[in-house]
Structure formats: structure tokens, C-alpha cells
Structure 1
Amino acid sequence: MQSEPAVYRVGDAVIVKIPELPLEGVDPTYLYPDFDPAVGPEIAREFGAGSVDQQTGMLRQSIHTWLVRTPDRVILVDTATGNDKERLAMPVLHRLNEPFLERLKAAQVDPEDVDLVLFTHLHVDHVGWNTHKVGDQWIPTFPNARYVFSARGHDYLAALSAGDGSDAAIRAEAGLGDMVKTPLAGVYEDSVRPVVEAGLARQIMVDELEAVEGFSFLPTPGHSIDHACIRFTSQGEQALFWGDVLHHPTQIVRPDWNSLYCEFPEAARASRRWALNHAAETGILVFTSHFGESSAGRVGRDGDRFTWQFA
């Protein structure tokens, strides 16, 4: 029997995790190209069975969406992977058939109820439920929502999709250093462009300003070209949606380890350090995109090291 999801209260809002896909048996040497097997097992022992299989050393992660309910709005932060998507390059995400919308309904939300969908970035496992397939077309899943995301992130995906070489100028303007990876092909076409063509997108600059009432998009580029952490404020209380600045609690101990999905390595490390420092200094409640267990917690310090405590 699946346990009831935890409900977090931030000001006058409630926040609930809507799970899509558990990721079991993730090999840390695959996830982290810089993984050090000499220290990895020792780091793994710092975390519980919900994050690390202590017998095998394999990592446990999650793909999910965060539902934020205020007295007058229904908001989703990122939309996971989606069903029926062609993802041959990532077999674990290929043609999923997950009861995600049923789980959303169990939280008393129908797709038509959603007012806002906010994105930390536009990678495959954060935009998939933007659309669902009807016949041979991809149709917006949340027809009454405004989809809010980075203009630069959108333009970069559109340029890569066009294949006209204009992506190089966008990378140069971003100034993030060496690029080692590009986003997965096909995601723009089936999960981003349809909401733009439907007139449901709002493209923003990622900066410290309050882009949407109660929500600020904080620049943390590197994992993607214009990644953002999203800060939510309500009645003097705050929460931080981390996105993919960290993928697993082991990076709390080793923030120098990038995931293999980080596109701009040095910028990703700098953003990770910023996010950890910000969370430790403010004590803010952090909602992660891929940590297992509750997926929420707080960052602390132990000398010159960061610590993590699940909520």
C-alpha cells in the first residue's frame, strides 16, 4: 500500500510531491563522471536506505512534480517525463505508461484546475507532462495554465531543433564556459513547442525579480543553459525548488561532482555551491527534483562541510 504523501505548509500554501517514477539501482559511477570509488562507499554510509542501497552502493532517486496550492491558485513546479514519449536514447524514460494524472487527481487536482506551471529548466524529465498525445498530436495537458520558463532556455532548444547553427551564438551570450553536452533531442518538439504554439507560454528573464506573484527565478546556470532555482514566498515563509543543481544527497558531501547530464561543467559547480550556501545560510526548506525519500529537506553545516536533513 502506498503511503500518503507528506504535506508541507509554507505560509498559506500547501506543497505536495506528485510522484512519477522511482529510479532504483542508479550506478554512481554512471551518474557522476568524477565519482571517486575510494571515498564513494564512505559517503554512501551517511545516507539511509531510501537514498542508497548499502549492500550494492547503488543510488535511489525519484522523478516527480511539486504541487503548490495557495488559497486562490494551483501551481505545478516542473512536470516530470510524461507518457508515450519517444526516448530511445534514454530507455528508462522511453514510452512510459505511468498513472501520473491519477496521482494528481488523488491530490484533488484535475488538469483543468492548474493555473500555473513553473519550470526550473527544460530538460526531458521536467517538461514531459506539458503535453499528452491525442491521435498523432501532442496537446497541452493543462489547458488553462500559463507555462512559465526561461526565454533563453527556450531559444536554445528551438535553435538546436532548427539545426541552423544559431545555438552557438546563444551559448556565447550565456558565457558559461565549455559545453560538454546538449539537451536530449525531440523534447522541444513534443513537450515545449506545442504549449508555445497554443499560446500558453510565458517566457521570462531568469533573475532575482519576482516573475510571478510569490515566485522568483534565481539564476543557477550550468546544468542547463539557463537553469533556475525557484523561490516561493508566502506570509514571510519561504521554500526553494532546487531543480537539478543537485541530483542526489551524495553531492551535499561532494558538490564538486557534476552529473553526466550537466551541460556546462564549471558553471554547474559554481551554481551548486551557491545553492548550498544559500540554503545553509537561510535555513530555507528545499524541495528537490530527484532526491529519494521525502525529496524535501534542509541544508546545514558541519565545519567546512554541508549536511542534509530530510524533512
Structure 2
Amino acid sequence: MERIELGDAEIIRILEWQGPFAPAAQIVPGPAEADWQHTGPDHYDPADGSYRGALQTWAVRCGGRTVLVDTGVGDGRERPGTPMFHHRRGRFLDLLAEAGIRPEDVDTVVNTHLHADHVGWNTRRHGDHWVPTFPEAVYYLPAADLAFFDPAAAHPARTTGTTGTPDPAQWAEWDQVFADSVAPVLAAGQARTWSGTHRIGAGLVLEETPGHTPGSSVLRLACGGGGAVFVGDLLHSPVQLAHPACNSCFCLDAAAAAASRLRILQRAADEGELVVPAHFAGPGLTRVRRSGAGFTPVR
């Protein structure tokens, strides 16, 4: 359990898992092996060329709020296309309890986007149904992602493949994610959709950063003199700091994702914001400074 004091805010890392996930060159195509080696052993294993990442949620206490940024994979989910997530069982609620957070204490849940590993603990099993895990929370969902992932919205990409995702099996798994982790929150009336920028409360602002998904977003925190930006999947690895034009294999719109990444990192460097990604292993977060056409982490 890691806790970071930032101004008047407390940031708590809820780390479910970290380790090797897949070949590094598959996760972020483009950088050379030497670039990966510069990221260090927390993020790359030179013995087999594997990317090392993490599944984690960031909890924020600020201004009387208890906020969760993304909610991991969830338990008991049908994810046959992603074996690591399929029927997974974890200690997420126990880890929250160890941090002193009960489900009913959470008043705000931010899903930076609606991929499976960011919405899973939005819900939990109650009998034969999925119900919201956090009964007192408002769940903030990007409107553009709802329009894309909701089967009822019938997004044109389902038939045209214009986003580079023509595989029916991928859509089928996304539909399952929506059914068990998003639709129950909508049905319970706990969801709030937003677009552009949206102020949640004092010191907490959501901002669209499209590309990884149509509604991919970041949460900016400014609380008592400290600043941080929770960037979701804008970054999968520190290798993208040195090479911000390089996207993960999961980004749907390459040009938009790269532009969003560069813009957020430039501002973070200029304003001294902590950069808090969803999947960095090791320390999990960093400050950055400009370095040529890219950025360098500042521990």
C-alpha cells in the first residue's frame, strides 16, 4: 500500500497485480530494444523482452471526497479473449479495506475510458445480477465512449471497421464488458456522462484526451498547492515518455492518441504535475521534464 501526500490531497495506490504481461514490442510497437532497456527492470525484462505492467486503481481523498480513478478488471468476468482477465479472482475490496475505504465511503468513481481493465469493479455480483459496487457513488463515464461501446448505440464502426477494430470477436467481448460493468451502473441511475471538460468539484477536473478510445480522458487534481494528472492509458510504459508519438497496440486512433499524449505531457512538464498512469509498475507515478522531442521521468 502506497500513500502520497500532495498538498491537501492524499493519493493511495491500490495495486492488484504487477509483472510481465506480453512482449514489449507488441504492447508499444516502435521503440528499439535499447529504448526499452532504458526504462529499467520495473518496466522491461531484457531476458525475454517482456513488458512489465500493473493493474491498479488510484484512490484520492481531497476536499471531503473519496474518489476512485478506474476500477480494474473485476471478479468472475467472462473475458475469453483476454485469458489473464478471464474468471479472474482478486483482493480488490480487501485492498480497499486495508486502505481504510469501504464501498459506501466512495462518493466518486472516474472511468477514464471503458476498457475491461478500467471498469471491472464498477459492479459486483449480487445473486444472479451485477449491481454497483459503490452504492453512494456517482460514476463519471465519458459520453464519447458510451456512444462507441454501448451496443444499443449501434456505432458505425461495428460494421465499417473505420477505427481499425473490424473483428467481431472484439466487439463481442466489449459488449460483455458493457453488459456486466457499465450497464448496471446506468440502470441504477448512478452514472453521469460528460464531454469536453467537466468539473467534478473543487480541484477535480475531467478532460477529454481522445485517441486510445473515442472518450479517453484524464483527471486533473489541484488541491492545496499540489497538482497531478491521472492519465489512464495515455501511457502504458515510460518508453512512451521518450517516444510520445509511439502508441500502445490498444489505441484506436493513432494520430489522436499521440496528439493527446504530447499535449498532456507538455503541460505536466511545464506545470510540475505528477503524472499518474494506470499501468506503470514499479513506483507507479512520476514527474516529467522536457528532453528533446520527448520527456524524461523525474523521480
Task: Output the amino acid matched with 2:9.
Answer: A
> C-alpha separation between the residues in 1 aligned to 2:105 and 2:115?
24
Partner of 1:35: 30
**Per-residue CA shift, 1:127-161, capped at 9, x if unaligned?**
00000112221111101111112122223221xx2
User: TM-score by structure 2 length?
Assistant: 0.91
Looking at structure 1, the residues matched to 292 and 251 of structure 2 have their Cα atoms a distance apart, in angstroms, of: 28
Alignment of 1:206-225 (within 5 A): 206-207=196-197, 209-225=198-214
Q: Is residue 4–residue 12 contact of structure 2 (8 Å, CA) maintained in 1?
A: yes
1:64 and 2:59 aligned: no
Deviation at 1:169, TM superposition (A): 8.7
Post-superposition offset of 1:203: 1.1
Verify the 8 A CA contact 2:7 2:225 in the aligned structure 1. yes
Counterpart of 1:114?
A: 106
State the one-letter code of the partner of 1:100: F
Unaligned stretches of 5+ in structure 2?
none
Once the two structures are TM-superposed, the CA of residue 302 in structure 1 deviates from its matched residue by 2.5
Please give the alpha-carbon distance, in whole angstroms, between the structure 2 residues aligned to 1:133 and 1:50: 34
**8 Å contact from structure 2 (residues 74, 121) kept in 1:** yes
Q: What TM-score, normalized by structure 1, do the two folds share?
A: 0.88
Structure 2 Cα separation of the partners of residues 29 and 83 of structure 1: 29
**In the alignment, does 2:97 pair up with 1:105?**
yes
RMSD: 2.2
Give the length in aligned residue pairs. 293
Residue correspondence of structure 1 range 1-311 to structure 2 within 5 A: 5-32=1-28, 34-36=29-31, 40-70=32-62, 72-158=64-150, 161-162=151-152, 166-168=154-156, 179-181=163-165, 184-207=174-197, 209-310=198-299
**Partner amino acid, structure 1, of 2:164:** V
SS in structure 1 at match of 2:286: strand
SS in 2 for 1:192: helix
Deviation at 1:265, TM superposition (A): 1.4
Distance in 1, Cα, partners of 2:128 & 2:109: 24
Unmatched segments (≥5 aa) in structure 1: none
CA distance in 2, matches of 1:16, 1:245: 20
1:180 is matched by which residue type in structure 2?
Answer: G
Q: Runs in 1 of length 4+ with deviation above 3 angstroms?
A: none
1:39-88 deviation digits (Å, cap 9, x = unpaired): x2211221221111132231210011001113522110110110101000
Identity %: 36
In 2, Cα distance between the equivalents of 1:25 and 1:224? 21
CA contact (8 A) 1:180 1:265 kept: no
CA contact (8 A) 1:114 1:144 kept: yes
